Structure 1
Amino acid sequence: MKITTILLLTLVIIFITVTLTLAQPGLPGSPEQTPIDGGLGILAALGGSYAIKKLRDKKQD
């Protein structure tokens, strides 16, 4: 009984210590969200088409 009590107390202390040590603070405020719109979407589409072209060119060689 004494060993079980000591083991349980030790585990509780370890869990509390780990919880306090690994606790992370939250964000200071809500960050501003930047929408992904026209320009970035066009650049992504052009990059994708360029990658496809390069893969097809490499396949033909």
Structure 2
Amino acid sequence: MRIVPSRKVLLLVGLLGCNVMFAAPDPPPPIPPPPGLPIDGWITFVVFLSLVFGLYKIYRIKKASN
């Protein structure tokens, strides 16, 4: 046995769904970042450390192959 929804129920659900969709409030404005905290503060240190580590690994590989 199939359940057949009536047109009145479908119309009511459709109208209520539109009201909910259009009644959403605006989102709050974004919070500004705190002053004095740069986004990329440690990027220079991380790049330098990765270069040193890469050179160390290359040195170890070449030393092991000799």
Task: Name the TM-score, length of structure 2 as normaliser.
Answer: 0.38
Q: Indicate the structure (1 or 2) with the bigger Cα radius of gyration.
A: 2
Task: Name the TM-score, length of structure 1 as normaliser.
Answer: 0.40
